[in-house]
């Protein structure tokens, strides 16, 4: 609020924060009312080598109704072994290579598709592999709320609708 106050827009700041909290609360309410378990997900921050998610991304996953056994809360991303990911066999895979534009990321995903066992993963078989805009997750700003909304809609599409402004922020692989 101090920034909004210094800019002479304290009420706008208060209203904005309330709006962000309301968006997150709406997701939490829908998940709680549905009495649904969190989806088993893997959030991939890098493709070669494969990196898990770290820093605040595990918190975003949880807010969106997803659990990732490889996510490292408040820590750095780390490489993980392909064999370990295959054994985990997540329901949903989110690919978000930091620093890549969409075209480069799509090219890099082809490396994953060549890995032994890729086609046998549940996420692949159920058409639940998504390439998402990394800027929704890697920028420590209010934009991460859009990231939570996007993930929640991908994880629980039967109860959470994809916000229209986010439809161009992901592609199904």
Q: Check if the beta carbon of residue 109 is closer than 8 Å to that of residue 46.
A: no
Give residue 7's pLDDT.
57
Q: What is the DSSP letter of 45?
A: S
Q: Is 120 helix (H, G, I), strand (E, B) or coil?
A: helix
Cα 130 from Cα 147, distance rounded (Å):
13
| Dihedral pair phi/psi, residue 54, rounded to 5° | -145, -165
Cα 111 from Cα 50, distance rounded (Å):
11
Give residue 103's pLDDT.
87
Cα 45 from Cα 137, distance rounded (Å):
10
**Which residues partner with 95 through β-bridges?**
44, 131
Q: Check if the beta carbon of residue 75 is closer than 8 Å to that of residue 55.
A: yes
Give residue 138's pLDDT.
81
Give residue 43's pLDDT.
97
Q: Residues in the chain with pLDDT < 70?
A: 1-7
Cα 74 from Cα 49, distance rounded (Å):
21
- Sort strands 54-55 and 66-67 into parallel, antiparallel or unpaired: unpaired
The CA-based dihedral angle spanning residues 97, 98, 104, 108, taken in that order and rounded to the nearest 10 degrees: -30
Residue with tokens 């996953």: 61
Is the backbone peptide bond immediately before 49 cis, with ω within 30 degrees of 0? yes
Give residue 4's pLDDT.
63
Cα 60 from Cα 69, distance rounded (Å):
14
* Element (DSSP H or E) covering residue 67: strand 66-67
């Amino acid at each position: 609020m101090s920034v909004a106050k210094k800019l002479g827009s304290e009420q706008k700041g208060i209203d904005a924060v309330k709006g962000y909290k309301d968006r997150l609360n709406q997701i939490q309410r829908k998940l709680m009312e549905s009495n649904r378990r969190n989806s088993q997900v893997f959030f991939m921050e890098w493709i070669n080598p494969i990196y898990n998610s770290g820093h605040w991304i595990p918190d975003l996953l949880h807010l969106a109704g997803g659990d990732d056994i490889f996510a490292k809360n408040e820590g750095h991303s780390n490489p993980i072994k392909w064999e370990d990911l295959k054994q985990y066999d997540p329901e949903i895979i989110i690919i978000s290579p930091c620093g890549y534009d969409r075209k480069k990321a799509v090219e890099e995903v082809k490396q994953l598709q060549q890995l032994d066992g890729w086609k046998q993963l549940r996420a692949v078989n159920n058409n639940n592999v998504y390439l998402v805009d990394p800027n929704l997750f890697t920028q420590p700003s209010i934009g991460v709320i859009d990231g939570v909304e996007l993930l929640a809609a991908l994880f629980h599409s039967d109860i959470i609708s994809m916000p229209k402004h986010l439809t161009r922020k992901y592609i199904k692989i």
